A and B are shown apart, each in its own frame.
Chain A
Amino acid sequence: MSKIIQLAVCVAAFTLVGSLANAQAVLSVDPTTQTTSTGNIVTVDVNISNVSDLYGYQFDLAFNPSVLQAISSSEGPFLATGGSTFFIPGTNDNLGGTVFATADTLLTAVSGVSGSGELAVFTFDAVGPGTSAVTIQNETLLDSALNFISDTATGGSVSVKSSTIAAPEIDPASATSALTLLLGGLAVVCGRRERLARSHAR
């Protein structure tokens, strides 16, 4: 086998492996992990990568309702790069912990979009301390021929700390200054006591 043929075989093999590796779109929660405090608003993006000819999608987003409460969801910019869209924000189930049936579709007989980007943005209220997994479930991706697009989905988590007993924030510089002041104060107090003791002894 000549070197040229060997090279061609290698290229073909890499291409095949690459195409197999690229066959599945990936849905993901972004950021994967984040921390906030109760009472704060937190946003979670659902992104997609490595997709070809995406025409429409639907999924549920599950969360721990004792930690997070869903407020709203909005359309991300990715699908709309292909044309006009029709977005259904989904239904918030804050008892069961699901944003149910969020969906988006392109309109008219256009091609789907390819690549990576943001599908939807979800806003939650951090209502309780703890960690909530944020999981993409029941996802369906359709191409422009309305065939299914295979995918994998990865979730994320949101950690919420209690804000009612939060310790004051101290930076090193401030801590050094405070310690100096404290020690200085103690020295002054001790000095006074020593002087008073001496004066009483007189």
Chain B
Amino acid sequence: MVASAGANAGIATTQALESQGWFDTFTITSSTPSIPKGTAVTLNITVTYSGKIFLTTSGLSNVYMQFLDYNSGTSPVPLQIAAPGISLSSLDGTTTTSATLQVHTGDVVQLGARMNTQVLAAVGGFLNSEASIGAADSLLPLSNPDFTFTVNIDPIQPCISYTTASQTTYFSGLSPLPCSGPPTCAQIVAKPAVETATGFGETPTTDIPEGALPIEIGAQFKPNFGYTLKQAAAICGFDHFNFQQVVTGYSGALPATCASQHPTVPTLDPPPSGWEYQGCDNSYPYYYGQLDLASGPIPSSCPLPATGSGDPSVVQSDSALTFCDGPVNPGITSGVDSFWTALVGVNAAGQPVGAPTPNNATLTPLWVMTWTDSFNGMAAGGIMGPFLSGIFSAPPPDPTTGTGGIVILNSGAPLVGDVNGDGVVNCADLAVVKASFGKKLGQAGFDPRADVNFDGVVNIIDLSTVARALPAGSVCD
């Protein structure tokens, strides 16, 4: 170990020679007892290389930084590191790469880095030199003298820090984020900037174009900082969380079997009174696929992880809430059906907070995915009727029976006023409301996006809601 940095100021970096590599042992700590042991912590790791190397071999050769040895230590779950290295075909000067690593408070983990090479040998096979630190140097004579790399490691949450066996700190010049108290509800439910397939957010993360598979959509919520769902709900003042969909636009008539329960849109689905709809859910054209682990396994076609078990309804595990839907509406002849899939807090009475009635859908979503569906086919295997017997007997939508796909308009913390889902509130949103102003649900020109409060009419409430969310200085014609 050739760490050249000092720790006198409590803020330091380390430098190591490429030929020797670097590692240290980290104990993840929290400065407040309000963050329990096991709370998820994200470390941002940045590595900067300095020096001059050129590969002398031809073909599929590269040099890359490898996080040498990260192990679980006392971590209850295997560590995963994103972007484990960077490929370099040459280096002349400095370059930087970064990665994130999920650890937990109380973890003792070993992190290291080294240079590595992968060189295409003359015989056409790969000679992998991962075996030893410094191998790169022996394979890269032109890298002499050793180039250096600098490692910075920053926890991104407040109240989180670490100690190291070498008593070296690796902060990148920033002090640990101050600890001003336990995380707030908003911080706990905030969607991370980086969305992962199995983490917080929607799946898929992109639109499902016509003909693509699967025609299914899902959403998953994992509280930040490693809180369980129950812990997070308690901090937020909820009894529990749930996903709540709002049908904001429907291109056809509702089936008679459910007309009394889904009298009109916008409507909450499922209703606040319960997740199941007395079987009616399955005959309603959309939702035969809500996850209900009390009833059975997750459909294999659902692109969401099927591990764990937990509470009834949509709770997949103690720490993740998952929703999956295969929207099927053979009645679509033109236009689209539109939805909100919202993460909501639910009170002790089982009511989604902010949603007093099914048809006065004034949700206060913690996270929302707005999307439209134009798939006009059916579920594989026939019509909806046979699915009434059980949610999970329902096969996924069959793309061969129809056309259309799914467009994800927006996903994230609900941005009030962003009716067009482009992530900003500006005059374009006001224009959407203006274009539909005065229109009622069912009338030509009614745009469900403009009906901000879901009351079925686009009026001054919607207009002023968007207007008030405009950034200061906005002028719209």
> A and B: real partners?
yes
Partner-B contacts on A (CB < 8 A): 55-58, 84, 86, 88, 90-91, 100-101, 103, 105-109, 140, 142, 144, 146
Bound-state CA distance A107–B468 (Å) is 6
0/1 interface trace, chain B 153-191, chain A, CB 8 Å (1 if under):
000000000000000000000000000000000000000
A107/B476 in contact, CB under 8 A = yes
With A56-B463, A58-B459, A142-B460 in contact, is A108–B476 under 8 Å at CB? no
Partner of B472, one of A57, A105, A109, A146: A109
Residues of chain B with a CB closer than 8 A to A55's CB: 464, 468
Judge whether B193 is part of the interface by a CB distance below 8 angstroms: no
With A86-B430, A101-B437 in contact, is A107–B461 under 8 Å at CB? no
0/1 interface trace, chain B 445-472, chain A, CB 8 Å (1 if under):
0000000000000011101110111111
The number of residues on chain B lying at the interface, defined by a beta carbon within 8 Å of a beta carbon of chain A, is 20
B467/A108 in contact, CB under 8 A = yes
Residues of chain A with a CB closer than 8 A to B475's CB: 84, 107
With A101-B437, A101-B438 in contact, is A56–B460 under 8 Å at CB? yes
Partner of A88, one of B434, B461, B465, B474: B434
A142/B464 in contact, CB under 8 A = yes
Bound-state CA distance A151–B468 (Å) is 22
With A108-B467, A146-B465 in contact, is A58–B460 under 8 Å at CB? yes
With A91-B438, A107-B475 in contact, is A140–B459 under 8 Å at CB? yes
The CB with the most chain B CB atoms within 10 A, among A108, A109, A142, A144, is that of: A108
Chain B residue at smallest Cβ distance from A142: B464
Judge whether B473 is part of the interface by a CB distance below 8 angstroms: yes
Chain B residue at smallest Cβ distance from A58: B460
Chain A residue at smallest Cβ distance from B453: A146
Partner of A103, one of B437, B469, B473, B474: B437
A107/B467 in contact, CB under 8 A = yes
Could you tell me the distance in whole angstroms from the C-beta of A53 to the nearest C-beta in chain B?
12
Residues of chain A with a CB closer than 8 A to B438's CB: 90-91, 100-101
User: Which residues from 124 to 176 on chain B have a C-beta closer than 8 Å to any C-beta of chain A?
Assistant: none
The CB with the most chain A CB atoms within 10 A, among B463, B473, B474, B475, is that of: B463
